[in-house]
Each structure stands twice: as C-alpha cells, then as structure tokens.
Amino acid sequence: MSTVVYTDGACSGNPGPGGWAWAVPAGPYASGAEPRTTNQRMEITAALEAVRANPGRLEVVSDSTYVVNCFRDRWWEGWLERGWKNSQRKPVANRDLWEPLVELVRARGDVTFRWVKGHGGDPMNELVDRLAVEAALEQRGRSGIGAPPELGPADRVGRPQPAALADAPLPGHPLVVFGHRPPELGGYGDNPVAAEVRRKLVQILRAKHELFADLVVVTGLRLGAEMLGAQAAREAGVPYLVVLPYPHPEKVWPDESQHQFRDLLDDAIDVITLERKEPRSKQQAGAALARRDAWLARHAAEAVLVWDRRDESLGRLHRSLTDHLGEDVWILEPPAPDPEP
C-alpha cells in the first residue's frame, strides 16, 4: 500500500516570503519557510521535502498542475534530453529544485503524483494550505503528528502575486491566448459562438500539447477569449498561468462573471500581477492593459488570437505579436452569430 502525502506552497509576493508544507493523513506533517522566493518554488519544495521525508511507496497529492504535470506528462524527459533546456532551448526555470526532485523520483521508482482541486473541500489539501500560509506569514516552520492546533484560515498568501515587469521567464512552453470580448463572441452568457471557440481552442491546445509536453497556457482571464482560453486549457488537461494587469480587475464585473474568474484563478499554476495599484480611470486601465499585452508578447513562445480579422484594435495587437513571435501567431476566427429572427 502507498503512503499518501499532501503538499502545498504559498508566497506573499513574487518574489516574496514563502512557505511550504506536507502532511500524511493521521500521520506526520512538516512545514518550512523561505524569506524570498516564489509560489512555484514553494510548490516544488513541498513535493521535494515530502519525497525526502517519506520512504516506501508514495503518492504525492498536490493542487499544483505545475508539479503534477511534470511527472504525469513527463516534462522532465524532454528537459534531460535537451540538457535541462525547455522547448524554447532556454534554461529550465527552478532547475535547482527540479533536478534533485526528478533524480529522487527516478531513483526510487515508487513515487506517483495526483492532482487535487485547491480549495475544493478536501480537508488534507486545506490543512497543508494553512500550514504553508502560516509558514510564509510567520517565517517559521514546524512539524508533528496528526492535525496541528491553532492554524489560521485557508487563504492563499499572495493571490494575486505582484511581480516586476522584468520578471523571470515564464515556465515551460508558454502559449498566450488573446482575442475578442463577449459582445463579439455571442454575448456574456454561454452561447453557441463562445462554445465553438472554446471547442476549437481545446483542439488546438491538445495538438500543441502533443508537440510540447511542457506546454503552459498563459491568459489574462479577461471576459471573452482569454477566459475561454483558461476553460479550454482546463478541459484539455494543460496547465495555465494567469497574468493580470493590476489587482482585482473583476471587481466591476457581474456576480456570475466574478465567480467564474475566481474559480479559474484557483486552478491556475500561478498568478502574476504586473502592477500593484488599481487604476483610477478607464484611461489608466486601458494603458495598464496595453502594458500587459506588450509584456505577454515579450514573454510568450506562441500566441493564439481569436479574431474576426475586422476589429482594428486586435489588428494592431496581431501586428505587435507578429513583430515579437514571427510565424508563431495563430488566428482562430470565431463563427458568425446566428442572425436574429
């Protein structure tokens, strides 16, 4: 029988003070802290410390698709073949943590990984989340047996996570999704046009995943094509990362849209917020979005643009993406909505 161990990481800022934790149901638990780190590094560290501390057949349960997919989709095989380079021939991010974890898992041969939805009601996932958050906030770890007393609320530190515009490269093979807003995609609710765009995005992402095992979808989660990109990534089993222009862009949205936004945010492997202050006007918000688009164009390996080839603002974005990415910009034309009777 396997020992089941749950892991989690938390970080206040990106980078910033962070914490990691692992726990075995009705068994031991441990947590630790780092003064300056990232959420991704804490997720990897939690898995590494869990594998180091628990001998015998082991099942690691994590809400990080970044960690789970590395082994489920065998990203590490491509990294080793390319000498610890990703599909873009750039150094693999966080190699100093990935390398010992991959070596240990390969050497043992008895470690498997399973994904669990974060904040989905799993009591052990909530436990390690609280332990990691506590370690990040208090900058100290602890260990023991069973459920530790006096834990704070299950609330991830650093969501969203501020980051400098010149942040480190995005993980894996990053593919960013841009495109139309809801009025051009059939409306704000679910509808045939949006459903068809989502279906085509799932097909594209599955095909890309066959070519790039370390594919990561990058989305800003704006209403419309960007949110459809996250939904398609989740359906295709591809990890996705969220890049926000500023904190809480969803505050002005309808309640149902805010709910969808937060649900998708919880499943992201990481959240990067490029600017710390919320805009005070529509003009400031528009300028922040333009800076975010430019940042994404610089950091992506490929892009999918949901575009009817008529919208002028998306035409300008297409030219900018082409300047940065060359031929690696793919246009998905949405179907025309059915004419009103």
CATH of domain 161-332: 3.40.50.450
Stretch (H or E) spanning 155: none
- Please pick, among 18, 34, 43, 302, the residue that the annotation labels catalytic: 43
Q: For 86-97, how does the pLDDT look when each residue is reduced to its tens digit (9 = 90+)? A: 776 778 889 999
Q: Is 190 an annotated catalytic residue?
A: no
pLDDT tens-place string over residues 23-53: 999 999 999 999 988 888 999 999 999 999 9
Cβ atoms < 10 Å from Cβ of 297: 19
The alpha-helical segments, DSSP class H, found in 92-183 are 95-108, 123-138
Neighbour count for residue 341 (Cβ, 10 Å): 3
Catalytic residue selected from 49, 73, 126, 129: 129
pLDDT category, 66, cuts 50, 70, 90? confident
Rounded to whole angstroms, the Cα distance separating 163 from 228 reads: 24
Residue 165, pLDDT score? 38
- Is 9 among the residues known to form the active site? yes
pLDDT in tens, 149-162: 777 655 444 444 43
* Nearest by Cα to 238 from 250, 229, 247: 229
Kindly indicate whether the domain formed by 3-145 is annotated with CATH number 3.90.190.20. no
Q: pLDDT digits over 96-124, tens only?
A: 999 999 999 999 999 999 988 877 788 99
pLDDT attached to residue 340:
54
Asked if residue 318 lies in contact with residue 333, where contact means CB atoms within 8 angstroms, the answer is no
Structure tokens at 142: 């602890």
Q: Is 129 a catalytic residue?
A: yes
Helices then strands, each counted (H, E), the chain: 10, 13
Q: Is 323 a catalytic site residue?
A: no
Instruction: Name the CA dihedral angle for 50, 56, 57, 58, rounded to a multiple of 10 degrees.
Output: -10
Encode pLDDT of 167-211 as tens digits: 457 788 999 999 999 888 888 878 899 999 999 999 999 999 999
Catalytic residue among 119, 138, 299, 311: 119
Contact 202, 212 (CB under 8 A): no
Tell me which of 34, 63, 73, 275 is the catalytic residue. Answer: 63
Does residue 83 carry a pLDDT above 60?
Answer: yes
More confident call, 321 vs 155: 321
Say how many Å lie between the first and final Cα of the chain, rounded: 62
* Inter-residue contact 22 to 49 (CB < 8 Å): yes
- Which has the higher per-residue pLDDT, 270 or 124? 124
Catalytic residue status for 77: no
Q: Pick the residue with more confidence: 282 or 189?
A: 282
Instruction: Judge whether 73 and 55 are in contact, CB under 8 Å.
Output: no
What pTM was estimated for this model as a whole? Answer: 0.61
pLDDT over threshold 70, residue 166: no
Domain boundaries in the chain?
A: 3-145, 161-332
